[in-house]
Amino acid sequence: MVNSGFKQSLYYGNETSYGSSATVDKEIGIVQSVNPTETNNIIKLRKLNSGRDYSNIIPGKFEVGGSFEYYMQYGHLLRQAFGEDTATTSATDSGPKYHTGSNRYLHVLGSAESPGMNNFPSFTLEFNDYEGDDELSNLKRVYAGTRIDNMRFDISVDDPLKVSVDWKSQNVAVSSAAPSSVSESTVDPYVFYQGAVYATSGSVSAYTQLDSDSIIAEVNSISFSIGNNLEAKWYVSGTTSGTQTLRGLKELIVKGRDYSGSLSLDFSSPTMYKRFLGSESATGPESSLSKYQIVLDFVRSGTIGGTKTETDDWLRLVLKNCAFASENIPGNINDVVTENIELSIESATAYVVDGISSY
């Protein structure tokens, strides 16, 4: 019998150094799809006086990459995209801070410059097609040296908080073994009615309490992406460590971060359009643009900026120094008037409070 998707699983484990052997012990979330691609980069050669066909077909660089989508229950995978878990401005992981009590933690991700190439987080990804005792049908693929190239958040009234990930890996190992033993969470994912969207000119941190004057109303959807601009490198010199293979990539370089975002809302006030022109008092295009902190809050329990409790459970994404890059307010006699805004984002920080002691 052919394999079925409901018997597949996708797990990961944090690596201590790039490409090192990692214990696969973490779930990703409510995974909806995964699509790995492995490429042999075949080199095809012709030769004089050999006719019209190829004379040699040999393997070239071995490339591994792919994508997956999941509904977000916890924020632990954010570390792999933002680059750190620290409540300081350190360039290396220092771990979360206590939020309250003995089992609530504040994770701060993206608060400082990305760590260097050798320190940037990496993980081992395990993708299983498991049919149980039928080992001839089992396929376990373990992708070592995996890093996130791009992570996209999509929030709408039609779905829970969906995260889409593009990734690259150093190598793949295949077997018919059983999946790693990973505890599956039963926590519900974040959903739109736990969320709020704000725009403010003031600074915002983990515990900044935002008032109703800063809230953006009638939001239909919002998206945000963080990109690490990964560059894979191969060298003629071959392997330089035990984690490398002859044909596999040797380095996966993390370059400057890119951000993008968009807002879609029902039009009810000219405020956002004036902000696009330059300021809330604009009557036409101004010579400079006011910058805003766009804040996305998702609260399952507690109040951000309120009294801390031992059941607090929330996520805050702060998109810093945003300018409104483009604006679209169409007109149609049969539709509600919408307002679509593209954001230019200078930097971003994620704040998560949960019961996970280490990301």
| 158-206: pLDDT as tens digits | 899 999 999 999 999 999 999 999 998 899 999 999 999 999 998 999 9
In contact, 142 and 173? CB cutoff 8 Å: yes
pLDDT band at 92 (very low <50, low <70, confident <90, very high): low
Please report, for residues 8, 127, 137, 147, 176, the alpha-carbon distance to residue 134 in angstroms, rounded to integers and kept in the order given: 14, 17, 6, 32, 9
Which H or E element spans position 78?
helix 78-82
| Residue 34 within a domain | yes
Residues 6+ positions from 319 with CB-CB distance below 8 Å? 224, 259, 261, 293, 294, 295, 296, 343, 345, 348
pTM of the model: 0.93
| Residue 274 within a domain | yes
Give how many domains the chain has, as a whole number: 1
Residues 6+ positions from 307 with CB-CB distance below 8 Å? none
| Residue 45 within a domain | no
* Residue 270 CA from chain centroid, whole number: 33
How far is residue 164's CA from residue 267's CA, in Å, rounded to a whole number? 28
Residue 6 has a pLDDT of 72
Which H or E element spans position 79?
helix 78-82
Domain range for 291: 6-39+61-177+189-354
How far is residue 94's CA from residue 111's CA, in Å, rounded to a whole number? 12
How far is residue 227's CA from residue 260's CA, in Å, rounded to a whole number? 9
Q: How many CA atoms lie within 13 A of 155 on its CB side?
A: 26
| Residue 52 within a domain | no
In contact, 278 and 286? CB cutoff 8 Å: yes
**Residues 265-274, mean pLDDT to the nearest whole number:** 92
Structure tokens at 284: 């036409």
201-90-76-153 Cα dihedral, nearest 10 degrees: 30
Amino acid at 231: E
**Residues 13-20, mean pLDDT to the nearest whole number:** 92
Residue 345 has pLDDT above 80, yes or no: yes
Structure tokens at 247: 């044909």
Question: Who wins on pLDDT, 113 or 245?
Answer: 245
Residue 237 has pLDDT above 90, yes or no: no
Residue 2 has a pLDDT of 62
Residue 88 has a pLDDT of 64
Residue 38 has pLDDT above 90, yes or no: yes
| Residue 113 within a domain | yes
| Residue 47 within a domain | no
How far is residue 256's CA from residue 264's CA, in Å, rounded to a whole number? 27
Q: Hey, which residues does 154 pair with through a beta bridge?
A: 162, 223
Structure tokens at 53: 């066909």
Residue 1 has pLDDT above 60, yes or no: no
| Residue 53 within a domain | no
| Residue 32 within a domain | yes
Backbone angles phi, psi at 53, to 5 degrees: -90, 165
Structure tokens at 281: 């008092």
Residue 224 has a pLDDT of 97
Structure tokens at 268: 């009810």
